[in-house]
Homo-oligomer: A and B are copies of this chain.
Amino acid sequence: MEKQNNEIDSVAENLAHIVPILKRIFIKGLRTKTNLSPQTLYTLGALSYHKKLTMSGIGNHLSVPKPHVTALVDKLIAEGLVERLSDERDRRIIYIQLTEKGKDTFKEVKRMMTESFRAELSIFDEDKIHKMYECSRYIRETLDEMAKSFQTGCCSGN
């Protein structure tokens, strides 16, 4: 039990450690190449993964205050990248989903993101890359599983 807690702490420390590195790799490289802010890019990513999200859902996924979600989505709609869908059953709810243009744009964003990363990672041998693939997938799946469970409780009015 003690050992288990130590391992959890190490996981937390390792993951916290890589956040600024990942931000540098993926976000910074994009800033000059697109007129979308990091959060709008995350929004596209969340929509690409979940297909359809409510406004609150987006806020929860990205930990963004609800009023700001409106602004983000407004921006994306102005660019023609997402669209609103109303729920027949509950007319308060608004679903957001990617348009075709949005899907294409996100695909392109992903390509640009991957491009530089590929050069960096390809200095490693095949085994290492494969292990990185497995590890990153495992962490992604586990975090997604975790994320489903917890309500942020963040930012009042969210």
User: A residues bordering B, Cβ < 8 Å?
Assistant: 4-5, 7-29, 42, 45-46, 49, 61-63, 110, 113-114, 117-118, 120-124, 126, 128-140, 142-144, 146-147, 149-150, 152, 154-155
Number of identical protomers:
2
A140 touches which one: B17, B26, B118 (CB < 8 A)? B17
Contact: B12 with A117, CB < 8 Å?
A: yes
Interface of A, helix, strand, loop or mixed by DSSP: helix
A45 and B63: CB pair below 8 A?
A: no
Q: Is the CB of A150 within 8 A of B120?
A: yes
The complex places the Cα of A155 from the Cα of B122 at a distance, in Å, of 25
Most buried by B among A128, A130, A135, A155: A135
